[in-house]
């Protein structure tokens, strides 16, 4: 059984370094590099569908949940120039048809009716309502045109947990099987996020391997503010150091504990400063052999990446560095005494 390997991080923490590192191994499929597969955790993705159907469901809530899920999956499938999209090419032409079949398997009832969610007026519906009103008045209140709606068919689903996870697991398995060669391990950047790793036991078996990458928040803040943002390639952290510290702490504290033997945690800096030991740890975790590492240091070179560490040592960042050191102590990395 091929492995599904998922590097994940905390926005700018360096999970792509693991993606690059593992791309150097034999029989690891990574056709689209650092492309992030978000269909599970994106807004109105699979995990939102889970929460709405199993936690927040009611007489008609599933209608909204399913329609929005289909809408977002269609966007991921169709939109070539949305950087997380174009699943038609990057996953497979069958992706959306399989998604529709997944919804059919979850569906308990469909019928022509409406509720207030479908009456939420957009521009098209606004003009239809005007025409409807004019026709009604001109006909002396005898003709009432059809009420404009966001969509007409209601879809209702009331699955048990067992049913939802069984059907969804089959769907996820089929989607992943569309990607790459079945004889190669699958490397999928950000298929999961640290904040939803507690869900793993409901969706995956032992073939999934998640590598969580942390990084010193001093470098994350400074790189984002002074380098990545200027290249229009930043991450959505506040550029005010006080707000950043508050945001970073709240982000990390909201993560639920996930004790799972298929989760391996490293620091980005360890892959740079302790390359051999950290590489061995990853290789052992994945049950690989060093001989499978065919193009060592060609895609991830610690001698290059070291230049993006300890940025905070520059005296001009002293004030911001010290504020982060005072407020995010437990997230700092203990650097060895090595000059960059």
pLDDT at 154: 93
User: Considering only CA atoms, which of 283, 314, 293 is closest in space to residue 209?
Assistant: 283
What is the pLDDT averaged over residues 3-14? Answer: 96
Strand locations in 198-291, DSSP E?
Answer: 208-214, 263-267
Q: Is the pLDDT of residue 9 over 80?
A: yes
Q: How far is residue 20 CA from its own chain's centroid?
A: 18
Percent of the chain's residues with pLDDT above 70: 93
pLDDT at 327: 98
Backbone torsions φ then ψ of 202, nearest 5 degrees: -85, -10
Please tell me which residue, 340 or 21, carries the higher pLDDT value. 21
Residues in the chain: 340
User: Considering only CA atoms, which of 310, 324, 330, 318 is closest in space to residue 246?
Assistant: 324
Contact 38/296 with Cβ under 8 angstroms?
Answer: no
Number of C-alpha atoms within 13 angstroms, CB side, residue 115? Answer: 11
Q: Is the pLDDT of residue 339 over 60?
A: no
> What does the mean pLDDT of the chain come to?
92
Q: Is the pLDDT of residue 338 over 70?
A: no
Q: Could you give the angle at the alpha carbon of 144 between the alpha carbons of 141 and 149, nearest 5°? A: 145
Q: How far apart are CA 24 and CA 325, in angstroms?
A: 35
Following DSSP, what letter does each residue of 75-125 receive, concatenated? HHHH-TTSTT--HHHHT-TTHHHHHHHHHHHH-SEEEE---GGGG---HHH
pLDDT at 275: 97
Which H helix or E strand runs over 4?
Answer: strand 4-9
Q: How far apart are CA 70 and CA 331, in angstroms?
A: 39
Q: What is the pLDDT of residues 219-231, one digit of tens each?
A: 999 999 999 999 8
pLDDT band at 136 (very low <50, low <70, confident <90, very high): low
pLDDT at 89: 95
**Can you give 17-44 as a three-state secondary structure string?**
HHHHHHCCECCEECCCCCCECCCCCCCC
- 117's CB contacts (< 8 A; 6+ apart) are 60, 63, 64, 150
Backbone torsions φ then ψ of 40, nearest 5 degrees: -80, -50
Indicate left, alpha or beta for 9 from its phi (over 0: left) and psi (-120 to 50: alpha). Answer: beta
Q: Is the pLDDT of residue 207 over 70?
A: yes
User: Which stretch of 153-157, 298-302, 334-338 has the lowest confidence by average pLDDT?
Assistant: 334-338
**What six digits make up the tokens of 239?**
């550029």
What is the pLDDT averaged over residues 160-188? Answer: 94
Q: How far apart are CA 194 and CA 212, in angstroms?
A: 7
What is the pLDDT averaged over residues 270-282? Answer: 97
Give the global pTM. Answer: 0.90
Q: How far apart are CA 6 and CA 292, in angstroms?
A: 19
What is the pLDDT averaged over residues 2-18? Answer: 95
Neighbours of 256 (CB within 10 A): 10
**What six digits make up the tokens of 288?**
């690989």
User: Which stretch of 70-79, 118-127, 240-249, 276-285 has the lowest confidence by average pLDDT?
Assistant: 118-127
What is the pLDDT averaged over residues 191-206? Answer: 95
What is the pLDDT averaged over residues 100-113? Answer: 96
pLDDT at 178: 94
In 107-240, alpha helices (H): 123-138, 161-177, 200-203, 217-223
């Amino acid at each position: 059984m091929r492995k599904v390997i998922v590097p994940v991080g905390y926005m700018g923490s360096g999970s792509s370094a693991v993606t690059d590192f593992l791309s150097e191994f034999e029989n690891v499929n990574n056709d689209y590099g650092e492309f992030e597969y978000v269909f599970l955790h994106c807004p109105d993705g699979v995990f939102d569908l889970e929460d709405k159907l199993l936690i927040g469901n009611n007489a008609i809530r599933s209608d909204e949940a399913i329609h929005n899920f289909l809408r977002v999956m269609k966007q991921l499938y169709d939109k070539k120039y949305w950087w997380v999209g174009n699943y038609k090419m990057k996953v497979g032409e069958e992706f959306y048809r399989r998604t529709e079949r997944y919804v059919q398997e979850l569906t308990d009832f469909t019928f022509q009716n409406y509720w207030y969610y479908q009456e939420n007026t957009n521009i098209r519906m606004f003009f239809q309502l005007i025409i409807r009103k004019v026709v009604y008045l001109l006909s002396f209140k005898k003709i009432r045109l059809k009420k404009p709606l966001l969509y007409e068919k209601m879809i209702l689903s009331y699955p048990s947990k067992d049913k939802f996870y069984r059907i969804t697991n089959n769907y996820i398995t089929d989607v992943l099987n569309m990607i790459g060669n079945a004889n190669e391990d699958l490397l999928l950047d950000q298929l999961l996020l640290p904040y939803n790793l507690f869900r793993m036991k409901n969706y995956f078996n032992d073939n999934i391997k998640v590598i969580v990458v942390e990084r010193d928040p001093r470098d994350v803040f400074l790189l984002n503010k002074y380098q990545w943002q200027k290249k229009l390639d930043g991450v959505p952290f506040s550029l005010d150091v006080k707000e950043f510290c508050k945001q970073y702490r709240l982000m990390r504290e909201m993560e639920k504990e996930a004790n799972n033997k298929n989760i391996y945690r490293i620091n980005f800096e360890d892959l740079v400063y302790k390359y051999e030991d950290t590489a061995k740890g990853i290789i052992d975790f994945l049950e690989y052999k060093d001989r499978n590492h065919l193009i060592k240091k060609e895609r991830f070179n610690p001698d290059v990446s070291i230049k993006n560490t300890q940025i905070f040592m520059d005296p001009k960042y002293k004030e911001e560095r010290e504020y982060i050191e005072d407020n995010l102590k437990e997230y700092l990395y203990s650097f060895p005494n090595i000059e960059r």
